[in-house]
Structure 1
Amino acid sequence: MIVRLLGMGLLSAVLLSSCTAKQPEDHNQHNAASSGNEQGQHAGHGTAEPAPSMNVKATWKLSADNPPSNQKANISIQIDDSKGVPVEKFEVNHEKQLHLILVSKDLSYFDHIHPEYMGKGLFEISTIFPKDGDYKLIADFVPTGTQQKTESHWIQVGNDKAPIESITPDSSLTKTVDNKEITLQFDKLQAGKEVQMNFSFTDSKTKSPITNLQPYLGAVGHVVIISSDVEQYIHNHPLEEKATGPDAKFATSFPKSGVYKIWGQFQQNGQLFIVPFVVQVP
């Protein structure tokens, strides 16, 4: 995929831990974004020289060419440099050395998991894909001393082609999840410019503001955004990482007009919850 740098000042950029959607950190890193071959980069708002880039190659291996759905599948990711030498060291980025995003082709399924680092550039994890069909795997990581990288890989699960669900923009940007009412707002929804987005939280029964959100992976929340063609990938961290609600603010930039799905990941009372939104970006 083509490298894209989406930072504009406030931007900066998830062994076995899973946050499947059934339905202190460096503040110069709040956003990772990429498209095409998923060579992502961070953008900061400091004055320091940017970290050097590194050409890397990810080699993906699964326990089967077409792993069956609803059964455990093993995934390994080998990260080498341009000369085929294993990359040995990785930054701990929001408590993990590698974040692995899994999405189905129609974006109806989303998972954000964390492979275990085995050494010598090798990461491994097991997971379960819920249905047959095409899935994109996106690895998000930072080799020590270099810029953010993302590498992706398409796989087919099972032998049947699952029906593709249509991706339709939401008519309302208020959702109720686990007795929480979450509203997503933008200062101005537009392509190619910095956009500020805010998740606000209230108790769906009492309508009281929620002010006890807990840190998830070192921040009040995380946001993953993927375009409907599954080519544009953006991973945002909040502007105020120690916020506890009722607001969680993020800055991002949509690279082009179109339909995007947004997953917000947050935690309260020790329970992770995910809220999805679909928006049309003019």
Structure 2
Amino acid sequence: MSHGDESHASAVVPGLAVEREGYQISDVNAPSAVGKDGTLTFRLTGPDGAAVTEYAAAHDKDLHLIVVRSDGAQFRHVHPTNDGDGSWSLPWRWSAAGSYRLFADFVPAPLGSNVVLTSTVSVAGELVPRQIPQDSTVATVGDFTVTLGGSLTAGTDADLTLSVRRGGVPVTTLEPYLGAYGHLVALREGDLGYLHVHPMGEPGDGRTQPGPDITFMAAPPTAGKYFLYLDFKVDGQVHTAEFAVTAHPDH
């Protein structure tokens, strides 16, 4: 997911702090246990301590909220409601226990560049951890098969192409979603560092086709395993394909 123009070689990896550029996330509340209906809320404040109320839309939204368990499972990409006083909220229900990371990804209008803030929520219940997945280049989501092409090298820009098929037939009817034909989030295994990923092209630019291929530019800051989550939209429904890939050292 990308909204900024930071140099990947020198920038601090986003998504590892509750404060950045003077902006902070606080007052995070959510249901405390699995199966309980409730509301997930949080508040954003700026360098002056006042609520953040002015945003510059990025990928068609003022704010993107990524929620994922610490082992990379239970990924959700949602768009809460701006309550107008710096607070954001949405109805919420946890389906699995564990420790979760929340990533608030937004562009404060006064700053004009992307900020990613994080917080942690613990969810009570019987924890069923998953094994860290092996590297995978094929994901199945319902009737869809998504294939990942390309490789990652630490500190180097790389193109990743994801190809969507349904029943073995290339899908050429991808629908615009968040300003592109797909939206890709990448998280570093372990600390869940948040990798900026840039979509290549956009609907209506005269050259980007609605499938089957969706291409992104990624620049992993370090070697190691990354979890990739592709959101794509077909027939009005958003689907999420998940992958694990290893970024190799830059020799």
One fold, TM greater than 0.5? yes
Tell me the SS of whatever aligns to 1:119.
coil
Distance 1:154 1:221 in 2: 27
Q: CA RMSD in A?
A: 2.3
Deviation of 1:39 after TM superposition, in Å, equals: 6.5
Give the deviation of 1:139 after TM superposition: 0.5
Within the candidate set 105, 108, 114, 1:140 is matched to 105
Query: Taking structure 2 as the reference length, what is the TM-score of the superposition?
Result: 0.86
Give me the TM-score of the superposition, normalised by structure 1.
Answer: 0.77
Partner AA of 1:72 in structure 2: D
**Structure 2 residues not aligned, in runs of 5+:** 204-208
Gaps of 5+ in 1: 9-32, 41-53
- Given that residues 60 and 75 in structure 1 are in contact (C-alpha distance below 8 angstroms), is that contact kept between their aligned partners in structure 2? no
Structure 1 residue identity aligned to 2:22: N
Question: Which whole-Å CA distance do the structure 2 matches of 1:39 and 1:211 have between them?
Answer: 41
Once residues 106 and 139 of structure 1 are traced to their aligned partners in structure 2, the CA distance between those partners, rounded to angstroms, is: 19
Q: Is the contact made by 1:184 and 1:200 (CA closer than 8 Å) also made in structure 2? A: yes
1:244 Cα deviation from its structure 2 partner: 0.3
Number of the residue aligned with 2:41: 76
Aligned twin of 2:153: 190
Output the amino acid matched with 2:16. G
Partners of 2:128 and 2:30 lie apart in 1 by: 25
Native 8 Å contact 1:183 1:199 kept in 2: yes
- Equivalent position to 1:214, from 154, 157, 175: 175
| Corresponding residue pairs, total | 236
Percent of aligned pairs with the same residue?
27
Alignment of 1:194-273 (within 5 A): 194-204=157-167, 207-242=168-203, 243-273=209-239
Match of 1:16 in 2: none
Work out whether residues 169 and 259 of structure 1, in 8 Å CA contact, stay in contact via their aligned partners in 2.
no
1:55 is aligned to: 22
Q: Which residue of 2 aligns with 1:88?
A: 53
Cα deviation code 1:79-126 (max 9, x no counterpart): 112231112201122221111100011112100111111113221112
In structure 2, C-alpha distance between the alignment counterparts of 1:6 and 1:161, rounded to whole Å: 41
1:36-185 to 2 correspondences below 5 Å: 36-37=16-17, 54-63=21-30, 67-146=32-111, 147-158=113-124, 160=125, 162-170=127-135, 172-185=136-149
Structure 2 CA distance for aligned equivalents of residues 184 and 63 of structure 1:
34
Deviations 1:239-272 (A, max 9, x none): 1121301110000111111111100000111111
SS of alignment partner, residue 226 of structure 1: strand
